[in-house]
Chains A and B, each alone.
Chain A
Amino acid sequence: MKVAFLVNDLQLSGGVGVVVQHARRLSLLPGWDVTLVLVREDEGPSWHGYEHLPDLHVRGREEAMADRFDVAVATWWETTFTLFEIPAGRHAYFVQSLEDRFYLEDQAERLGAALTLDLPVAFITEARWIAQLLGSWRPDAPCFVVRNGIDKEVFAPLERVTPAVAGPLRVLVEGSPTVWHKRVPEAIAAVGAMREPHEVTVVSGDRPALAGVVADRVLGPLSHREMADLYAEHHVVCKLSTVEGMAGPPLEGFHRGATCVVTPVTGHDEYVEHGYNALITDWDDLTGTARSLDLLARDRKLLHYLRSNALETARAWPDWGQSSQFMAAALTAIVRLPQPGPTVAAARLSSDLRSGLEVYQQRVSERADWHRRARRFERRLEAIRTSRGVRAALKVRHSWPVRTALRPLRPIKRRIMRQPR
């Protein structure tokens, strides 16, 4: 079986890490030959550990286009641009999240990412909620679920959780603060609003973006092994994401004896059970989140109950070996099944494009309306600014008697200028 996984690059990210894990393990199966196709130039630190594997190759787009595969798999919405250029018996799409949600409403990528789900491909996804949605949107296309495994050698489940009966609650916040939907600043603010004694560690691959963050420790980037050690030092992972396929960090924390306080983000129900192994907090409720954390800081029996059950949940979670067996079975099934026909996909694509354009037109019209209203204010301001009295005042404002007279107002001006907009 010749498989090509298309990735933008091999830079360190959770999504690429999942693809590399599958590629590595599939390449070890007898008769499997796996290629990671880089559809754009590599720019930063990369995933490694595959170089010694004889049946796992890394190729550029041009090279891959000269080859032929049994199945080519897009793994991120932008990689679908190259998917049909790769000669393959079947084309598939590994959907790790609904990636249009990564973009704000007025970003063009939002529509682009959504439209890629209309392509005539077979789907593989990592979460059941995505499979359910894809099943309802694209009943014509086969859809398989392959949940992400956990590297049980790195995130080895603890033998048992040691009760934390005293001391501050140790909270871990992880994620990139510049990715809006990860809501890392909000998580840090929620921990900061706790009343009970606590220690907070913030860890991110994007360390410079954490400048100015108030935390006991600011760390990162860390290797997986360092992360595993860090989870084991903490009681709680606080994660307030608004968009996820199936968040890995709380589950990794479970393996290392940490419970979590999380929003009911998509995919959480794959392993989070409120009041059993974690606490679920509401959207945008930083005070409520802080109170949940306070509860865990005060009620050490509850904390231990949640942590113990989190560890038990982790024990039952599949490892990468099992996950990649499902990936192998899904790819084999995709090769066996016919490729979804282009007609249904094209109809769906046209329909979604039309809806997308309507939404876009509505936004443009809304913006034009706001622009008109703003212009009205601007004209009035301009009239005031050009009036004789204001012009005279502006003229004398830099003269020394006026500056001397206004000096007592300077602190007020400074305060106004400092206020956030």
Chain B
Amino acid sequence: MPDWQERITLQTPPAILSEHELRYRLLAPLLASSAAWADLGCGNGVAPAAVLDGRWPARTVLVDLEAEAVAQAAARLGATDTVQLHGDLTDPDVLTRVGDALRAVEGERVVSCFEVVEHLATFSPLLEWAGELARDGVATFVLSVPNDAFWAIENPFHAARWGEGAFDELRRLLPAEQTLMRQVALTGSAMVGWDDAPESHELGVQVGGGTTVASHFIAAFGPRHRDVVREAVAVPAAQLEQRRWERQRESNLAVAEARVEALRAMEAERNEWRTYIHELERELGRPLSGVDPSQPAS
């Protein structure tokens, strides 16, 4: 049973957190020389705060559906000129406000939009707006969508199904000047000394090629789309946490299933009682309890 964690938090499993952080690393050179940055679907700001090391523009526009998340992100990032916006990115007014906040500052502008498009009930207003800003040279966009189709993941929080085919449909709607990337998962292992302090290892890894399966698809478009940097990241697997988390989930699931069973048994018992009481009520010529006499018997 999957555990849907749509909000990145400090408790997010390391593999997912590092995946998210890597997407923000793409932006590092862009942000270092930009005057404004908008993070659409900013969440709590955990990932950019962890990897960008304070090197983001003074004008930061943080946008999310939840005002509380935006406030947390603003506190975490601590930018000097933060614009906090909460609203639905399917709403053209919200998009216009983001655009205005970016345009208010002269210089290069960057917009990140990671793991947002799949949550939108309709994504065409966002695409239209982003395409227009990119074509006009107002901002460079970097967006990502997950490859749910490969694993046939039915995420209850995703309003659209994304995969190779859907991404191909998407990228044809973006400005022709674009950089496309696949984000791929890595697995690995390391040897460490028995009692020694934490070690650092340089890793070399060959990824990509014809049979590469993406976990996410990334598109950068706009005036500086070529400036994104591709990197790879490996983090220790938090197996202790992972084990606790999985066991907790299994334990919770078992309890939930047991409760469902108990409720079913209780329902069956009550139905038996109700049938018995109805029989008695019929014998006594009384109206059946719990039954609306105006409704036809089912």
Chain A residues with CB under 8 Å of chain B are 128, 131, 143-147, 270, 312-313, 315-319, 322, 325-326, 328-330, 332-333
> Contacts A143-B172, A147-B166, A325-B160 given; 5 further ones with Cβ under 8 A?
A144-B169, A312-B152, A318-B161, A322-B166, A333-B173
**Once bound together, how far apart are the Cα atoms of A144 and B124, in whole Å?**
14
Q: Which of A147, A312, A325, A328 meets B165, CB within 8 Å?
A: A147
**Once bound together, how far apart are the Cα atoms of A322 and B170, in whole Å?**
11
Give B58-78 interface residues, CB cut-off 8 Å to A.
none
A316-B153 CB under 8 A given contacts A322-B161, A325-B160: yes
B220 to A: closest C-beta gap in Å = 19
A145-B152 CB under 8 A given contacts A316-B161, A318-B160, A332-B128: no
**Once bound together, how far apart are the Cα atoms of A313 and B131, in whole Å?**
31
- Check if B173 sits within 8 Å of A322, measured CB to CB: no
- The residues of A that contact B133 with a CB separation of less than 8 Å are none
Asked if B261 is at the interface (CB within 8 A of a chain A CB), the reply is no
A131-B172 CB under 8 A given contacts A318-B166, A325-B122, A325-B124: yes
Q: Which of B122, B150, B153, B161 meets A317, CB within 8 Å?
A: B161
Report how many residues on chain B are interfacial, defined by Cβ distance under 8 Å: 22
B222 to A: closest C-beta gap in Å = 16
11 A–B contacts, CB within 8 A, in A order: A144-B169, A145-B169, A146-B169, A315-B152, A316-B163, A319-B161, A322-B160, A325-B122, A325-B160, A329-B123, A333-B173
Q: How many A-B residue pairs have C-beta atoms within 8 angstroms? Tell me.
A: 58
Pairs of residues from A and B, 3 with the lowest C-beta to C-beta distance, nearest first:
A312-B152, A316-B149, A329-B124
- The residues of A that contact B149 with a CB separation of less than 8 Å are 316-317
- The residues of A that contact B170 with a CB separation of less than 8 Å are 326
Chain B residues with CB under 8 Å of chain A are 122-124, 127-128, 131, 148-150, 152-154, 160-161, 163, 165-166, 168-170, 172-173
Q: Is the interface of B mostly helix, strand, loop or mixed?
A: helix
**Once bound together, how far apart are the Cα atoms of A312 and B149, in whole Å?**
9
- The residues of A that contact B124 with a CB separation of less than 8 Å are 325-326, 328-329, 332
Q: Which of B152, B166, B173 meets A313, CB within 8 Å?
A: B152
- The residues of B that contact A329 with a CB separation of less than 8 Å are 123-124, 127-128, 173
- By beta carbon, the residue of chain A nearest B135 is A336
- The residues of B that contact A328 with a CB separation of less than 8 Å are 124
**Once bound together, how far apart are the Cα atoms of A270 and B128, in whole Å?**
26
- By beta carbon, the residue of chain A nearest B147 is A316
A389 to B: closest C-beta gap in Å = 73
- Check if A326 sits within 8 Å of B169, measured CB to CB: yes
**Once bound together, how far apart are the Cα atoms of A144 and B149, in whole Å?**
20
A315-B172 CB under 8 A given contacts A325-B123, A325-B160: no
A315-B154 CB under 8 A given contacts A147-B165, A147-B169, A325-B122: yes
- By beta carbon, the residue of chain A nearest B154 is A315
A326-B173 CB under 8 A given contacts A128-B168, A270-B165, A318-B160: yes
B123 to A: closest C-beta gap in Å = 6
A18 to B: closest C-beta gap in Å = 15
- Check if B173 sits within 8 Å of A144, measured CB to CB: yes
**Once bound together, how far apart are the Cα atoms of A333 and B131, in whole Å?**
9
- The residues of B that contact A315 with a CB separation of less than 8 Å are 152, 154
- The residues of B that contact A143 with a CB separation of less than 8 Å are 172
- The residues of A that contact B150 with a CB separation of less than 8 Å are 316
A204 to B: closest C-beta gap in Å = 29
**Once bound together, how far apart are the Cα atoms of A316 and B152, in whole Å?**
5
Q: Which of A131, A316, A325, A332 meets B148, CB within 8 Å?
A: A316
A140 to B: closest C-beta gap in Å = 13
A232 to B: closest C-beta gap in Å = 19
**Once bound together, how far apart are the Cα atoms of A332 and B122, in whole Å?**
14
**Once bound together, how far apart are the Cα atoms of A128 and B170, in whole Å?**
12
Most buried by B among A128, A313, A326: A326
- By beta carbon, the residue of chain A nearest B152 is A312
A22 to B: closest C-beta gap in Å = 13
B128 to A: closest C-beta gap in Å = 6
B129 to A: closest C-beta gap in Å = 11
- The residues of B that contact A318 with a CB separation of less than 8 Å are 160-161, 166
B255 to A: closest C-beta gap in Å = 24
- The residues of A that contact B173 with a CB separation of less than 8 Å are 144, 326, 329-330, 333
A107 to B: closest C-beta gap in Å = 32
- By beta carbon, the residue of chain B nearest A326 is B169
**Once bound together, how far apart are the Cα atoms of A330 and B128, in whole Å?**
10
- By beta carbon, the residue of chain A nearest B148 is A316
- The residues of A that contact B172 with a CB separation of less than 8 Å are 131, 143-145, 330
Most buried by A among B124, B154, B163: B124
